[in-house]
Structure 1
Amino acid sequence: MKTEVKALVVGGGAVGASIAYHLARAGWDDVMLLERDELTSGSTWHAAGLLPLFNMSYATTHIHKYSVEFYKTLEAETGLNAGFSVVGNLRMAQSQARMDEFMLYASTAETAGVPYEWLTPAQIKDRWPLVRTEDLKGALYHPTDGYINPADVTMAMAKGARQRGVVIERKWQVDGYHWNGQAWEVTCTRTADKGGNLIATEEQLVITAEHVVTATGNHAQRTAQLLGLKIPAIPVEHQFIVTEPDPALVEYRKTHGEHPVLRDADAKWYVREERGGWILGPYERNAPARFEYGVPDSFRADLFPLDLERIEEEYMSMIHRIPSSETVGLKDDFNGPICYTPDGNPLVGPAPGLRNMWLAEGFSFGITAAGGTGYYLAQMMVEGEAEIDMASLDPKRYGRWMTTEYAARKNEECYEHVYILHHPDEERPACRPLRTSPAYDRQAARGAQFGCVNGWERPNYFGPLDAPENFDHDARSFRRGDWWQYAEAEARAIREGVGLIDATAFAKHWVSGAGATEFLDGFTCNKLPKIGRINLTYALTSAGTTRTEYTIVRRQENGYYLVSAGAWAAYDADYLQKAAEDFMARTGKLVLVHDVTTQWGVFAIAGPKSRDVLKAVLKDADPDTALSNKRFPWLSAREIELGMCPTMAIRVAYTGELGWELHHPIEMQNYLFDLLEKAGAEHGMKLVGARAQNWLRQEKSYRAFGTELGRDATPAEAGLDRFIDLEKDFFGKQAMLDLGIRSKCVTLLIDGPEDADPWGREALYDGDRRVGRLTSGGYSVAFGKSIGMGYVAPDLAAPGTRLKVRMFDQLWDAEVTEDSPYDPTNATIRQNG
């Protein structure tokens, strides 16, 4: 058995087999896969094998699309039939809200080139007469979907991997990982069958691997313990039942093809044919998490007892939808562990804090995602980056604050929410509130309706305190819900008066040391600011695309305060720390990186009257001029005293108005909140949430990380030329220049429906030709219409270009505007006083 390899893949399910295959196909000729038992002996063996392309995540949609196309090629390459039945996927809707969801999803599918059709209830009944349709609104049909045999497709990928030189070893369990500074030393133990159990023998060896990928499925918690990580991948019970043959179905099949996979989202189940009968897969309430602290040694390819009472509602709804199934008996049942994560997306990418350790864990739709995960993860490992932005799947989207209890409860919630309406601003209640700023209770008492960002509670908007019982606080709508009027008033308050935003969730790092300036100069693409000034800048990937965005405040000659997106705190921290370590190893110069996120609270005050509010509480020898352009110019930072609260004030506003960010000791936040609220009352100051802020930043064409900014576009393609200093060398510069301009980020004003705004997932058209996609959307109080940002071909990026945006299955007029359509000269931001 080999003991030195370039890449070691741990786990022999569908995901692990795909990764090994694609690493070899990408050119790595020294790859090994280890499986503790037999290939497919984890969740793969009892998976239903569905292949749904339908997904709101841009990255996941591409992953699923690749899988479906890839699986169709395996038989020609390996000679093994993967058992792919391309029967289509019919998603049925019982309500208009569900149809609204489907219409947004369909527009998103267009951006990835996924085909679909709309069907009326009559058309459904005509094609598939066994389906009851009188209570349906319609359906979305994906003709290229279907299902596959999980074991067969895994074995086909494993054979393809072997043909490309991959060594696959079974009955070896990984018991330890050690990084020796150059490679991983992986301790492995031979396993054996004994009385139906899998036991460890005394035979051990150490495999040295330059790279390790873990695809350990239900054993992710054991992997986490071995690596000293927190991995929120914990299984949840998933049941499905198989019926005896249905005579009506058997008769129907004599003259017709197979039914598509049927999904009644409002009833929370999928159904497909199986040997003349039906498979029902429900996503019921109260399915428990299992193996929170590891899989018992006695559990192999095993199942849990079926709990029919828990799925009675879903079973009865299947009978309602397919009446012929009522008299059919049950033939078989399955209740097995399926791994989940709190948001339902898998964890794919580099492990936090570790070198050359890659995670591929937490796959609730593992068969669908396996092919694409192998393809894109191999790109990341071999080439440095994938061709799509994989940040939404990055393992570091969950920080060290995450606990086992949190992951287990959120994973149960995620399972239950598989078929619950998913609008883009969806907020789920489990495990909340958890991370709160000190002013949380004060804001809640004033009507704050909170969203959750990286565990932090952050106001989305401030609703009425006397709201009726049926008030749509959760905004479970794809149109303008009850909340919209309050967000609109908050946005207008900042444009016309003054508003206060809690931005405490921002990620914050302090970078210092003798090498700090040299390090940051090469780490980011913009000039570094002078002491007391700030700059917006970007760290690039090795492919020249945008890795992260920082606001850098230079406090000292070699002391910098870095502010970045709150949702990406651990993601930014890991990249920053590893880059600093690389710099020190290369130069020998000291760079210290400290995460100070929880030490500093942040309020953003903005609007034409913001200076007046601050003057009322500012302690200065001359408060009338302390905040003037001369003493406190735009894009500068100063230490000021607001009452008794020492504050680092930064003159910048993400809303595009006159304003300041007030970074303060977090233990003084309630004092500062009360002080500002009292002073602001005289000027009509409103508390403002994230939804209004998101609308306002689009009026200024301010890009946001995770939407306009990501690892699939360069800062130049994002239109950020003014923040790129081509006179200096910086990481990723040449790669960025080599890529050129493949597409351009634009802002569009949209004449959309009267009762809805775009969410930032929609396809863009030039005539009947799809030419791009929105990445953000909302409403503009300055222009009285919908607004959005997105990417189009460079020749369509000129202001005045007329395009169309697809919303609710219609094309609506949209016009490319100049960058920063509101106050393009920044006169408002620079306002003197």
Structure 2
Amino acid sequence: MTLPTHARAVIIGGGVIGCSVAYHLAKLGWTDVVLLERKQLTSGTTWHAAGLIGQLRASSNMTKLAKYTADLYASIEAETGVATGFRQVGSISVALTTERHEELRRSAAMARAFGVPVEEIDTAEIKAKYPHLNTDGVVGGVYLPSDGQGDPANIALAMAKGARQRGALIFERTKATGVARDGRRITSVEWEAEDGSSGTITCDHVVNCAGMWGREIGQMLGVNVPLQACEHFYIVSEPIAELQSLPVLRVPDECAYYKEDAGKMMLGAFEPVSKPWALGGIPEGFEFDQLPEDFDHFEPILEAAVNRMPMLAEAGIHTFFNGPESFTPDNAYHLGQAREMDNVWVAAGFNSIGIQSAGGAGMALAQWMEDGEKPFDLGDVDIARVQPFQSNRRFLKERVTETLGLLYADHYPYRQKATARGVRRTPFYNHLLQHGAVMGEVAGWERANWFARNGQTPDYAYSWKRQNFFGNVAEEHKALRENVGMYDMSSFGKIRVEGPDAEAFLNHVGGGDFSVPVGKIVYTQFLNSRGGIEADVTVTRLSETAYLVVTPAATRAADQTWMQRQVGEFRVVLTDVTAGEGVLAIMGPNARKLMQLVSPNDFSNDANPFGTAQEIEIGLGVARAHRVSYVGELGWEIYVSTDQASHVFETLFEAGEEVGLTLCGMHAMDTCRIEKAFRHFGHDITCEDNVLEAGLGFAVKTSKADFIGRDAVLRKKEAGLDQRLVQFRLTDPEPLLYHHEPILRDGEIVGYLSSGAYGHHLGGAIGLGYVPCSGESADQVLASAYEIDVAGTRVGAEVSLKPMYDPASARVRA
């Protein structure tokens, strides 16, 4: 078969992911798809995968993709004649600690909200379903009857055959060796075959499905794909006579999983400290290769397993296997349109869940390529989240030693990565550490999450209950509500939009009205064509031709890329200026008093009303004071160039002694914002949440000239809301909310919380979540009885569509 000279899409990599993308593009009618595989299909990682197919993931959309995957594997054999070996054997996860049991019970509640069948089972029920298990120390568990297992290589080959049947072309032993570019587009891919032939394929799109080669292929394509291969171990026993079909078993407290397969028992591990592999590059000839055994590394896992599964002591080991799999810095795979190029797509770095993710990931990416927009929120895995520094080899080596083990670690709320820390620091980093700051990390930024008291260990002690910082955050929260607090916001993204068309451009991409005086601050959203929220921003007019767009730290890169793709003929330049200014938030009823101590400027309502910015003198320097608030109090965000940042911090801190200033962290900011029902992007509002249903219609001005998403907003106004974002307060002050807890309305599950935190002022845990309301008035929504499922216990909740704290916003305008 001869390679064509043109293809609509060239897919690089013939593992299960590349085959899935080819299959799903062909299914959408893309007949001129070419897949290039350097060796043989499945020869990298797919062939030695364990083949576990679980349906419950960490979010509703990831669960939706996993459920789609299982359904596909169950049906594709009939379509292609290739057996996938898919068996719905179920899975059991067991807890050996009360903390892990809490996690499993919360995951069971989440499964109920997501529509995944689940049973919470006690030790006796676990033993009945898994008689070979030693249940000593087992506290409890959960059973997911719809989980399964399959044959990884045949799953990939089935999708490859399905793709071929629909016209896709697949070429093995054909390596992509280079590309030609024109600006932000790849125009052609060069290839070489093992038989010595070579050539070029012009193309409209390129998809990087190169697995553990994804970083290097990304470099060839001009895009950043941070991932690193790690060694992954499992053993397979000799045949065991009495072994029948069993559920997949996970014992995460012992870092182990078990799978019965063809009368043998497989034991796999996700050890706490993993072994990065091929740091200098993967050998050129790698194909169906195994790595050297490392029994010493695996021995602690095996020792615990022999106790947990006594049959392993008798059976003997048939196979000790060590093979590489790729891991990413945050343990989420990379999917979507690469930021650096406009026609390069990525599906790689699947962190040992490639088989159970491949069907859904391929479907979602193909639909995204077809429509030019994400089919639904994929923020968990969207490659637009990655940072340039994350491809640093030393960073990856250090980080992936941890991320493999995090798959089976306790998934505590607020858990921070421990490795490869400190790469991005704000100008106030050392000042904050000196005063007891306990740092967290977002997008590489070190941020003060809370402050330890004198004599208190400045570190997290994780739990599902009240963690060791609970009282500290309560004090910081109280300071913001009753006096004055200061926290560091420097990590928030700052994008300068400048040029003669800056006003017109922002009026095109943003829902707000940017035809405002210099110094005015506009809070609004950038929408997509469906009225979903692409970004949640504040925009300050700095001059006639310049604006400053402020975004969350985690989405700065994605938001700037999204804006850049809308530029077209507008005469504007977008510049990331995040590192150029430090930002200190001064918030609370005494914020004005503190500001007057450090600056001669006028901070009165007449001179500096809410939603305006002014240039100020502060200490010996100058800064810009933005009167806005994310905590629902009177306050200012002080933007100061980094060279003067330390001086301004010291000036404010010293003057603060006179008014009782408290240093606060990001956790206190979050607990305050949720009391005020301020939305959190990525949780409460995403690209698939309509701006009106999110309760943010006030920030979108449909009366102005056309903007992206305006028609969808008008259609939704006409049709009415299908759901509303509701605020909840638990009537019992003890339970804690994080997110994804099921919402029950009159006894029936109707949704789940999008975010949760403790409301220290309101005296209970607070959550936000969408409630279906088609054809209902606001009063009808509020008239029902509501409960929240917290780890299997239903807790009564008060509800409101207005913020429970200061609904009239009198405090921020004081």
Equivalent position of 1:115 in the other structure: 117
Distance 2:268 2:256 in 1: 5
CA deviation after TM superposition for structure 1 residue 808, in Å = 1.4
Q: Which amino acid aligns with 1:477?
A: S
Distance 1:182 1:351 in 2: 10
Equivalent position of 1:416 in the other structure: 405
Q: Which amino acid aligns with 1:164?
A: R
Residue of 598, 606, 612 corresponding to 1:617: 598
CA deviation after TM superposition for structure 1 residue 796, in Å = 8.2
CA deviation after TM superposition for structure 1 residue 748, in Å = 1.2
Distance 2:196 2:162 in 1: 32
Q: Which amino acid aligns with 1:221?
A: R
Q: Which amino acid aligns with 1:136?
A: V
Equivalent position of 1:524 in the other structure: 510
Equivalent position of 1:590 in the other structure: 571
Equivalent position of 2:364 in the other structure: 376
Equivalent position of 2:309 in the other structure: 322
Distance 1:146 1:60 in 2: 17
- Secondary structure class of the residue paired with 2:400: helix
Q: Deviations over 1:671-694 (max 9, x none)?
A: 111111111112111111111111
Residue of 437, 458, 466 corresponding to 1:448: 437
Equivalent position of 1:195 in the other structure: none
Distance 2:188 2:293 in 1: 38
CA deviation after TM superposition for structure 1 residue 261, in Å = 0.8
Structure 1 range deviating more: 475-484 or 793-802: 793-802
Q: Is the 8 A contact 1:190 1:204 kept in 2?
A: yes
Q: Is the 8 A contact 1:460 1:691 kept in 2?
A: yes
Mapping for residues 53-202 of structure 1, pairs under 5 Å: 53-180=55-182, 184-192=186-194, 202=196
- Consecutive aligned runs of 4 or more in structure 1 exceeding 6 Å deviation: none
Distance 1:763 1:666 in 2: 44
Residue of 277, 290, 299 corresponding to 1:303: 290
CA deviation after TM superposition for structure 1 residue 788, in Å = 0.7
CA deviation after TM superposition for structure 1 residue 753, in Å = 6.0
Q: Percent identity?
A: 34
Equivalent position of 2:728 in the other structure: 748
Distance 1:240 1:186 in 2: 41
Residue of 259, 271, 274 corresponding to 1:284: 271
Structure 1 range deviating more: 724-733 or 135-144: 724-733
Distance 1:818 1:732 in 2: 24
- TM-score, normalized by length of structure 1? 0.94
Structure 1 range deviating more: 109-118 or 10-19: 109-118
Across the aligned residues of Structure 1 and Structure 2, the Cα RMSD in angstroms comes to: 1.7
Equivalent position of 1:705 in the other structure: 681
Q: Is the 8 A contact 1:399 1:569 kept in 2?
A: no
Q: Is the 8 A contact 2:46 2:152 kept in 1?
A: yes
Q: Is the 8 A contact 2:511 2:699 kept in 1?
A: yes
CA deviation after TM superposition for structure 1 residue 801, in Å = 4.0
Distance 2:185 2:428 in 1: 47
CA pair 239-553 structure 1, distance change in 2 beyond 3 A: same
Distance 2:107 2:583 in 1: 35
CA deviation after TM superposition for structure 1 residue 46, in Å = 0.8
Equivalent position of 1:773 in the other structure: 752
Distance 2:722 2:206 in 1: 33
Equivalent position of 2:795 in the other structure: 812
Q: Is the 8 A contact 1:186 1:207 kept in 2?
A: yes
Equivalent position of 1:656 in the other structure: 632
Equivalent position of 1:673 in the other structure: 649
Residue 207 in structure 1 maps to residue 183 in structure 2: no
Q: Which amino acid aligns with 2:727?
A: T
Q: Is the 8 A contact 1:286 1:310 kept in 2?
A: no
Equivalent position of 2:584 in the other structure: 603
Residue of 711, 718, 721 corresponding to 1:734: 711
Residue of 499, 505, 508 corresponding to 2:494: 508
Q: Is the 8 A contact 1:801 1:816 kept in 2?
A: no
CA pair 443-182 structure 1, distance change in 2 beyond 3 A: closer
CA deviation after TM superposition for structure 1 residue 82, in Å = 0.5
Distance 1:571 1:242 in 2: 43
Distance 1:800 1:40 in 2: 56
CA deviation after TM superposition for structure 1 residue 181, in Å = 6.0
Distance 1:184 1:457 in 2: 36
Q: Deviations over 1:498-529 (max 9, x none)?
A: 10011110000111111111111001011113
Q: Deviations over 1:437-490 (max 9, x none)?
A: 12212211211111101100111111223126xx8x424211111211111111
Equivalent position of 1:644 in the other structure: 620
CA deviation after TM superposition for structure 1 residue 404, in Å = 2.1
Distance 1:575 1:282 in 2: 39
Residue of 213, 216, 229 corresponding to 2:210: 216
Q: Is the 8 A contact 1:339 1:362 kept in 2?
A: yes
Distance 1:404 1:282 in 2: 25
Q: Deviations over 1:737-791 (max 9, x none)?
A: 446533221111122461x310022111113322111111111123211111111
Mapping for residues 550-589 of structure 1, pairs under 5 Å: 550-580=537-567, 582=568, 584=569, 589=570
Residue 483 in structure 1 maps to residue 463 in structure 2: no
Distance 1:467 1:418 in 2: 30
Distance 1:366 1:506 in 2: 33
Q: Deviations over 1:686-737 (max 9, x none)?
A: 1111111111111111111111111111211211010111123101222444
- Secondary structure class of the residue paired with 1:393: coil
CA deviation after TM superposition for structure 1 residue 662, in Å = 0.5
Q: Is the 8 A contact 2:733 2:763 kept in 1?
A: no
- Secondary structure class of the residue paired with 1:239: strand
CA deviation after TM superposition for structure 1 residue 59, in Å = 3.3
Distance 1:738 1:604 in 2: 38
Gaps of 5+ in 1: 193-200, 621-625
Gaps of 5+ in 2: none
Distance 1:227 1:31 in 2: 18
Equivalent position of 1:340 in the other structure: 327
Equivalent position of 1:251 in the other structure: 242
Distance 2:806 2:762 in 1: 12
Distance 1:737 1:245 in 2: 65
Residue of 765, 775, 785 corresponding to 1:802: 785
Residue 367 in structure 1 maps to residue 344 in structure 2: no
- TM-score, normalized by length of structure 2? 0.96
Distance 1:71 1:339 in 2: 23
Residue of 1, 11, 14 corresponding to 1:12: 14
Equivalent position of 1:22 in the other structure: 24
CA deviation after TM superposition for structure 1 residue 618, in Å = 0.4
Q: Which amino acid aligns with 1:745?
A: L
- Secondary structure class of the residue paired with 1:822: coil
Structure 1 range deviating more: 534-543 or 26-35: 26-35
Q: Is the 8 A contact 2:613 2:624 kept in 1?
A: yes
Q: Which amino acid aligns with 1:483?
A: F
CA pair 485-800 structure 1, distance change in 2 beyond 3 A: farther
Q: Is the 8 A contact 2:221 2:344 kept in 1?
A: no
Distance 2:237 2:384 in 1: 42
Residue of 824, 829, 832 corresponding to 2:807: 824
CA deviation after TM superposition for structure 1 residue 182, in Å = 9.4
Q: Which amino acid aligns with 1:757?
A: L
User: When the two structures are aligned, how many residues end up with a matched partner?
Assistant: 801
Structure 1 range deviating more: 561-570 or 788-797: 788-797
Equivalent position of 2:479 in the other structure: 493
Structure 1 range deviating more: 735-744 or 700-709: 735-744
Q: Is the 8 A contact 2:747 2:786 kept in 1?
A: no
Residue 242 in structure 1 maps to residue 236 in structure 2: yes
CA deviation after TM superposition for structure 1 residue 395, in Å = 1.2
Residue 391 in structure 1 maps to residue 379 in structure 2: yes
- Secondary structure class of the residue paired with 2:425: coil
Residue of 720, 727, 736 corresponding to 2:696: 720
Structure 1 range deviating more: 630-639 or 281-290: 281-290
- Secondary structure class of the residue paired with 2:206: strand
Distance 1:734 1:404 in 2: 46
